[in-house]
Amino acid sequence: MKNHVPGVLVVLAVVFAAVPGSAGPEKIAFPANYKDHVLYATVDRYDNKQYRELYGTAEGVKAAREGKPIPSGTVLTLVQYKAQVDAAGNPVKDVNGRFIKGDMVGITVMEKRTGWGTEYPDDIRNGEWEYSAFGADQKFNDKANYKACFQCHKPHAKQDFVISLARLAGKAPGGPVAMKTSPNDVGISGFAFGPGQVTVAAGQYVTWTNGDDSPHQVTLTQSQERSAVLLKGQSHTRAFAAPGVYDYSCGLHPNMKGSVEVK
């Protein structure tokens, strides 16, 4: 029987071998004191029925909220929990309409250090950030798809690769969003596009509006054209000139999918 090593680990192993000990997820120690950091966001993930908590070290949060660059030494920790569900498998909500956390699934960490990342090729490197993942038992996860972390954050270089920067900086919009209901409008709510399929005439536009607390990003499957990261209440409009079917997904949450048929 052949031992199949995930492709990402092969790629990263080649990178790490060039300068031993200089890069890689194993550089990050498990942040045992993460609960002493700033809890800057909680997220209900409807797509995978998870409840998530995001923590940041005080210095990093302070810098973000003062509009300054995120400093070296910043640690951002994402803690994933299963959402408690009822007999039908639907997430149970508290009096505020939020998911109730159940068992821990795992912990993902991104850490920034001066000089980190120089050994990565340009198509992988995320500035001076490194990523690591741990199980609920706090043990390092050597099977995690680390290349996917870099690929997911890579398009967000303008915000120092931190997708949750608006939350970190305390600038995420709140309050309900009034969704538009014209045939050319697609709402984003509960980690889903609605309607999932729309039909427009050639030359017409489609507008996506994010109603979730979490950011989303419209990404066309074939061309990989991406919208800006859409915070709650923000919209993206695109015209479709040529007939055809345009599949798309969320660039931040690939399980979210939709399509535009242009006639």
Residue identified by tokens 């640690």 is 75
pLDDT at residue number 22: 44
pLDDT averaged over consecutive 10-residue blocks of the chain (263 residues)? 36 38 79 97 93 98 97 98 97 95 97 95 95 97 92 91 94 82 93 96 97 92 93 94 97 94 97
- Chain centroid to Cα 206, Å, comes to 23
Q: What is the pLDDT of residue 8?
A: 37
Domains observed in the chain: 7-168 (3.50.70.20), 185-262 (2.60.40.420)
* H-assigned helices in 52-188: 58-65, 146-153, 165-168
Task: Specify the DSSP element, H or E, that contains 244.
Answer: strand 244-250
Question: What confidence score (pLDDT) does residue 23 get?
Answer: 54
The pTM is what? 0.79
The burial class, CB within 10 Å (0-12 / 13-18 / 19+), for 119 is: middle
| pLDDT tens track for 25-72 | 999 999 999 999 999 999 999 989 999 999 999 999 999 999 999 999
